Structure 1
Amino acid sequence: MLATLALLLGLPLALASEPQSCTSLVPITFNSTTIPQLLGQWFYIAGASRYPPHLAELRAVTFEAFSFSPGSHKDELNITEIIRMNETCVVRNFSKIQVFHENSTLVHVGKSDCLHLSQLMITGVASMARLIQSDKDLLILNHINIDSPNLSLSARTPNVSKEHLEEFKAHLQCLGFTEQEVFYASTEHACPLPGDEDNADPQLG
């Protein structure tokens, strides 16, 4: 909900500073069963970051949805993104995610307006995120090559249970975020999704 990424596997990673007590931020180990579980529709729920470019996007976005589909290669995912930023809905479908099993990371490739996927972009430098272990219907991303704490939550539905939200807030608290630093999407500003042509937003473009 969002610069082109180069696939530089040798790029040294400056891991986001995480308190040693944040043992709950355990990344998923990608394998033949976890990758298919990423496919399909997701809705951005909330995010927090102390990296200034990300903060600007967090403040601007009121709704975001995206979907993963199989790419042309085994460890590649295509992305279709739908985002409302600055009161305009925009659809993009020309970006990809590369999955690296050896270090359980996701790398975004191509231009994206999708908020936390675009947080995988830092002025044209390859950037990575790890998927944190959680419920199969949640997508918690920790972006790992910036020196500021950050975390985003997406889910299979536009709303999540109180328990799932509390789990995410516990991760945020562990990283040192306060409630005032968390930005939430809103279903009141939802953009029409594919198949909703009858209710299309005139600003959709």
Structure 2
Amino acid sequence: MTLPWVLAVLSLLPLLDAQSPTCTNYTVPITNASLDQISGKWFYIASAYHYPEYKELASKFKASFFYMTPNHSEDTIWFREYSTIGDSCIYETGHLTIFRKNGTLLKYENGTRHFGHLMLPKDRRTFMLAAFPEDPLKMGLSFYADKPEVTPEQMEQFYEDLKCRGIKKSEVLYTDEKKDLCKPLERQHEEERKKEDKRAKTDTALD
């Protein structure tokens, strides 16, 4: 299943972004520092899409969180995602390809390429991904934070960026951490990793 935040195609920045200082820039090249900034655990907070396929997909997510581990030398990101869709927890892992110059992330799925423009607001506890920014009929924006509950100021930045791209606040689809069903699986995976690390340390000591 396509990640809710792996969206968009490579494109040019709309003129409106250059005119409004409140819009988060998403033509900034990706650096090691920006990769470090998005490393770790994130929560999918909300999104709004004009593209029907992405809009339909986003409507199915009740809750979602994920882990990202960038590899600077290989320009890839290893991800682990836990999504509550309907009455099920869907777990997915894989790699994203980083296009530093264009500021985009790429995921291949079922022979299809999905691009997303990385957007880093001033608040380092959040980030966004833009979808089809050159096409008003398809454009969209997704919003992520390092905690499942965001501040009014963080949410307002998301709303401002939606406005910059001609997307109405009424189009936003929100997630709800209270509906999350994936925490038990996450805990199971954490316990398994701890056991693997312990065995690895024991084997190293024996060598």
TM over 0.5: yes
Greater CA drift, 41-50 or 79-88:
79-88
Residue matched to 1:126: 113
Gaps of 5+ in 2: 4-8, 189-207
Aligned pair 1:185/2:175, yes or no? yes
Count of equivalent residues: 177
Greater CA drift, 28-37 or 130-139:
28-37
Contact 1:130 1:141 in 2 (8 A): yes
Contact 2:97 2:107 in 1 (8 A): yes
Contact 1:43 1:158 in 2 (8 A): yes
Contact 2:10 2:102 in 1 (8 A): no
Q: 1: CA distance between counterparts of 2:106 and 2:48?
A: 19
Per-residue deviation, residues 26-59 of structure 1 (Å, max 9, x unmatched):
0243222221222111100000001000111121
| 1:154-193 equivalent positions in 2, closer than 5 A | 154-193=144-183
| 1:49-128 equivalent positions in 2, closer than 5 A | 49-71=49-71, 74-93=74-93, 95-110=94-109, 124-128=111-115
CA drift at 1:104: 1.5
Q: 2: CA distance between counterparts of 1:146 and 1:196?
A: 41
Residue matched to 2:201: none
Q: 2: CA distance between counterparts of 1:76 and 1:18?
A: 30
Higher helix share: 2
Distance 1:64 1:110, change over 3 A: same
Amino acid paired to 2:140? N
Distance 1:179 1:102, change over 3 A: closer
Aligned pair 1:196/2:197, yes or no? no
What's the TM-score, normalizing by structure 1? Answer: 0.75
Quick check: which has more Rg, 1 or 2? 2
Amino acid paired to 1:141? L
Residue matched to 2:45: 45
Q: 2: CA distance between counterparts of 1:139 and 1:174?
A: 16
Residue matched to 1:26: 25
Q: 1: CA distance between counterparts of 2:177 and 2:171?
A: 20
Q: 2: CA distance between counterparts of 1:195 and 1:62?
A: 17
CA drift at 1:92: 1.2
Amino acid paired to 1:142? A
Q: 2: CA distance between counterparts of 1:73 and 1:158?
A: 31
Amino acid paired to 2:55? L
Amino acid paired to 1:102? K
CA drift at 1:126: 2.2
Amino acid paired to 1:48? A
Q: 1: CA distance between counterparts of 2:49 and 2:20?
A: 16
Amino acid paired to 2:99? F
Amino acid paired to 1:61? F
Per-residue deviation, residues 136-158 of structure 1 (Å, max 9, x unmatched):
11121112477322000011110
Corresponding residue SS for 2:37: helix
What's the TM-score, normalizing by structure 2? Answer: 0.74
Gaps of 5+ in 1: 4-11, 112-123, 198-205
CA drift at 1:192: 2.9
Q: 2: CA distance between counterparts of 1:18 and 1:102?
A: 20
